[in-house]
């Protein structure tokens, strides 16, 4: 990858547009998780320390191209000011005369947060005129929102064509971590993939078997692969009948990649809290039982494979991690990965459920890198070109 970073610009006195992802979870005007704001702060502080005039833009929620006070960025601007310790002001629009006047009046070290980009249909439509309005009065474009890089929107791709451009520290950190995990991994490399359906991760699996030496498959999607190997799976499994032939094809065309499937499964009489866990070999689960986790022999084997490798990329829990005690498999693997990371394993994980599972296990901060990017992380793992990254590399 070849792209400019904050090291490649003289920011003093320059007006810098930073595309951040400040789309934080909130309830009744109060932020419930500050992670995205906290992870953006280092880029913001560095630009301020270098004398830039920093214009910060993001989307928040889904206002569907209409101005809606419910989705105003004002309270997020306040939170960013408190988190950074900087004097952050707010513009009640992201384009137009008033916004342009505020931008022209900025001094070195000032920070201005713009109103929600998605108040305009031109944002998601990647409208050229809207991109030009965003770029008005701006000297340098910095993208620090890998989590939106899979979308070719005006603020993530369109306006980057118009200005000198580079990656912020969070974007740089994400790209470097993913390159270590999939681009140029230390070998042997292993991918651990969980989740409920093969159909949602078909492109991901097809790409991974070409990139890694081992592929461990857990969660509900493992049931379809077990069925593809001729193992009878009961009504309580998450087998996708339409995906069995696809699973057979992936198994048959794995090449030099060894695919590791569960050998035992944890089940209960029904789905939900308070159920008693039982364990059976994968081919001996009693009829009518609900499969909720991989079994202890499978956990041990997954950990053995991971411990034999130098690089791990992880997407998806291996069981119903939201429900005790069916979080056991995911938790035990997570703790083992954290320990292996201390001893040199490069461990990169991402995806919404994965991040939640790692936080629940208490080890999210113990891996080499945990991506909160969701869709962009998945598309990167699928081998797709991300518009917001591709434009930085041009």
What residues act catalytically?
A: 36, 197, 352, 375
Which residues fall within 8 angstroms of residue 307, CB to CB, at 6 or more apart?
336, 340, 345
Element (H, E) at 90: strand 88-90
CB atoms within 10 A of CB 293: 29
Helix axes 35-49, 74-84, angle to 10 degrees: 60
Which of 150, 154, 96 is closest to 127 using CA atoms?
Answer: 154
Q: Whose structure tokens read 């949602």?
A: 200
Q: Is the dihedral of CA 352, 353, 358, 359 positive or negative?
A: positive
Output DSSP code: residue 180.
Answer: I
Which of 224, 220, 290 is closest to 251 using CA atoms?
Answer: 224
CA distance 307 to 212: 15
Please give the angle made by the CA atoms of 18, 159 and 389, to the nearest 5 degrees. 70
Tokens describing residue 322: 């939201």
User: Are the beta carbons of 205 and 381 closer than 8 angstroms?
Assistant: no
Q: Helix, strand, or coil here: 143?
A: strand
Residues in the chain: 394
CB atoms within 10 A of CB 80: 26
Q: Please state whether beta strands 264-268 and 278-281 pair in parallel, antiparallel, or not at all (unpaired).
A: antiparallel
The whole-angstrom distance between residue 230's C-alpha and the CA centroid of its chain comes to 34
Q: Helix, strand, or coil here: 103?
A: helix
- Residues facing residue 268 across a β-bridge: 290
DSSP string, 139-183: SEEEE--GGGTTS--IIIIIGGGGS-EEE-HHHHHHHHHHIIIII
């Amino acid at each position: 990858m070849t792209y400019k970073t904050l090291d490649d610009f003289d920011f003093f006195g320059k007006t810098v547009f930073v595309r951040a992802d400040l789309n934080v979870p909130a309830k009744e005007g109060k932020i419930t998780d500050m992670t995205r704001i906290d992870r953006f702060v280092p880029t913001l502080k560095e630009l301020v320390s270098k004398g830039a005039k920093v214009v910060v833009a993001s989307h928040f929620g889904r206002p569907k191209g209409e101005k809606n006070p419910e989705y105003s960025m004002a309270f997020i601007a306040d939170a960013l000011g408190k988190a950074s310790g900087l004097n952050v002001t707010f513009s009640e629009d992201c384009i137009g005369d008033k916004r342009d006047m505020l931008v022209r009046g900025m001094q070195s070290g000032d920070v201005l947060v713009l109103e929600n980009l998605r108040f305009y249909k031109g944002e998601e439509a990647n409208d050229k005129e809207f991109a030009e309005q965003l770029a008005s009065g701006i000297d340098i474009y910095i993208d620090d929102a890998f989590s939106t890089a899979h979308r070719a929107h005006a603020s993530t791709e369109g306006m980057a064509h118009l200005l000198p451009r580079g990656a912020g520290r969070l974007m740089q950190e994400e790209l470097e971590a993913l390159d270590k995990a999939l681009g140029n991994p230390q070998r042997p490399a292993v991918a651990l993939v969980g989740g409920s359906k093969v159909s949602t991760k078909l492109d991901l699996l097809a790409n991974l078997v070409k990139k890694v030496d081992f592929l461990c498959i857990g969660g509900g999607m493992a049931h379809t692969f077990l069925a593809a190997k001729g193992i009878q799976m009961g009504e309580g499994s998450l087998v996708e009948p339409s995906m069995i032939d696809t699973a057979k094809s992936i198994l048959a065309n794995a090449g030099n990649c060894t695919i590791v499937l569960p050998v035992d499964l944890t089940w209960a009489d029904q789905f939900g809290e308070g159920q008693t866990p039982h364990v059976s070999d994968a081919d001996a689960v009693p009829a009518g039982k609900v499969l909720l986790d991989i079994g202890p022999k499978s956990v041990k084997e997954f950990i053995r494979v991971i411990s034999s490798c130098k690089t791990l990329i992880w997407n998806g829990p291996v069981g119903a991690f939201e429900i005790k005690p069916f979080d056991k498999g995911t938790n035990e693997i997570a703790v083992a990965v954290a320990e292996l990371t201390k001893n040199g394993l490069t461990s990169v994980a991402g995806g919404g459920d994965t991040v939640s599972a790692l936080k629940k296990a208490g080890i999210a901060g113990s891996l080499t890198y945990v991506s909160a990017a969701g869709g962009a992380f998945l598309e990167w793992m699928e081998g797709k070109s991300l518009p917001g990254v591709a434009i930085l590399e041009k």
